């Protein structure tokens, strides 16, 4: 039986372990013992409590495994991925890190490693869908709208973080790169707000986020953008916090002590953003792709709506992110995808066999991307 190790056991890492332990020998690693408790007690998953901020530790832990999954927060993602690649291990990573993954391409090729990055819902599944259609038409426009939200809207934020809260804050501060007239244009996070009506949710507000990532290098498409979805009013609140300086990483002096405002903000915000036990939440996404094939105008729209899994007690964001990852893990372990180096999800989507496998894998888990033309 092949062995898989998961670095990080938050909500998504746990869902990944639960899905994979049916057919592989799975080990989950996290610095917090409480994050491993449910896996340890209810599933055939081995667990290790360990600090993964050290490269030597990562290399030691991953040495005897057939494949590594990176499910750490974004600020740890790049260095942990580098350590795994240097260790000569194939890896699937879901970290939302700021660095360019292609900086590790030469190392991965030298080590003979296949490294799939950004393998979640968006970026991730959105990239695969675009990669698939880009092989069959001349794409002129691509737009991805995506968000994860609680059903219960609680004042003042009407929001809960269904994945790493520190990575959520990046969506409010990291400049958003979009493509207009075949040129990369940088816009502030939270910019270009608009109301969007999505079934079965209703009206949400969308704003620019830096979700195109590898698509900026791998795709030659004149217009591309990704926007995040929240309940109306959320943008204004986040702008007030950001412009006041609450998201700043620069130290300030308060009563003789140096602190970073973002550290105070996270300490105050995160308890309010934590999902309650078994809280109902959902993930919604709409992808639109338009262009031409043989001079004919073509338009595709994909819609996905997923909700908390009551039976298995897995959040929707963990399902839609984690099971995209586990589908690709199966492709690698079964030898269906073998491209060495850094491979973003659009490379997988470009292979119709791989793309249809992932779509089918998710459908089996009741995650459906409904295509309209």
CA distance 127 to 325: 13
CATH of domain 125-307: 3.30.360.10
**In the block, residue with structure tokens 């490294």:** 115
Distance CA 115, CA 69 (A): 10
What is the pLDDT at residue 120?
96
The predicted structure's pLDDT at residue 182: 97
Domain residues of the chain, as ranges? 3-120+316-372, 125-307
Q: β-strands 114-116, 341-343: how paired?
A: parallel
Q: Are 7 and 72 in contact (CB under 8 A)?
A: yes
Output Rg (C-alpha) for the chain, integer angstroms: 20
The predicted structure's pLDDT at residue 373 = 75
CATH 3.40.50.720 fits 3-120+316-372, yes or no: yes
Backbone angle region of 160, left / alpha / beta, with phi > 0 → left and psi within -120 to 50 → alpha: beta
Is the peptide bond between 200 and the residue preceding it cis, with omega within 30 degrees of 0?
yes
Work out the angle at residue 370's Cα, subtended by the Cα atoms of residues 364 and 373, and round it to the nearest 5 degrees. 145
Please indicate, yes or no, whether the overall pTM of this predicted structure exceeds 0.75: yes
> Among candidates 121, 167, 119, 134, which has minimal Cα distance to 342?
119
Note the pLDDT of residue 163: 64
Whole-angstrom distance, CA of residue 361 vs CA of residue 373: 22
Q: Comparing C-alpha atoms, which of 76, 20, 28, 72 is closest to residue 49?
A: 28
By the 8 A CB rule, do 232 and 204 touch? yes
The overall longest dimension of the chain from CA atoms, in Å, is: 69
The mean pLDDT values, 10 residues at a time, for the chain of 373 residues are 96 96 96 93 95 95 97 93 97 93 97 97 97 97 97 92 76 94 96 96 96 96 97 96 95 93 91 90 98 94 97 95 98 95 98 98 98 85
């Amino acid at each position: 039986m092949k062995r898989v190790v998961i670095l990080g056991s938050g909500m998504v890492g746990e869902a990944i372990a639960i899905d994979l332990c049916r057919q592989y020998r799975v080990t989950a690693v996290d610095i917090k013992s409480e994050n491993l408790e449910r896996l340890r007690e209810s599933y055939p998953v081995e667990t290790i409590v360990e600090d993964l901020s050290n490269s030597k530790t990562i290399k030691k832990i991953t040495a005897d495994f057939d494949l590594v999954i990176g499910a750490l927060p974004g600020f740890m993602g790049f260095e942990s991925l580098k350590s795994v690649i240097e260790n000569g291990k194939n890896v699937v990573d879901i970290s939302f890190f700021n660095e360019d993954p292609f900086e590790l391409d030469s190392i991965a090729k030298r080590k003979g490693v296949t490294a799939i990055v950004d393998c979640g819902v968006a970026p991730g599944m959105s990239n695969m869908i675009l990669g698939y259609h880009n092989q069959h038409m001349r794409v002129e426009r691509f737009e991805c709208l995506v968000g994860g939200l609680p059903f219960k809207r609680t004042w003042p934020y009407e929001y809960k973080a269904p994945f790493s809260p520190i990575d959520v804050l990046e969506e409010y501060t990291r400049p958003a790169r979009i493509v207009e007239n075949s040129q990369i244009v940088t816009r502030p996070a939270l910019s270009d707000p608009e109301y969007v009506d999505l079934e079965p949710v209703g009206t949400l507000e969308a704003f620019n986020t830096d979700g195109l990532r590898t698509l900026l290098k791998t795709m030659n498409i004149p217009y591309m953008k990704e926007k995040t979805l929240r309940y109306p009013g959320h943008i204004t609140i986040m702008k007030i916090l950001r412009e006041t300086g609450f998201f700043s990483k620069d130290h300030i002096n308060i009563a003789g002590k140096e602190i970073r405002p973002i550290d105070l903000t996270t300490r105050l915000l995160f308890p309010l953003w934590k999902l309650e036990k078994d809280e109902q939440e959902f993930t919604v996404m709409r992808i639109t792709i338009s262009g031409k094939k043989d001079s004919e105008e073509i338009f595709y729209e994909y819609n996905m709506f997923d909700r908390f899994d009551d039976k298995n007690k897995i959040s929707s964001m963990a399902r839609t992110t984690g099971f995209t990852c586990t589908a690709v893990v199966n492709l690698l372990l079964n030898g269906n995808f073998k491209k060495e180096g850094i491979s973003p999800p659009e490379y997988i989507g470009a292979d119709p066999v791989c793309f249809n496998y992932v779509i089918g894998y998710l459908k089996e888990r009741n995650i459906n991307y409904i295509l309209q033309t």
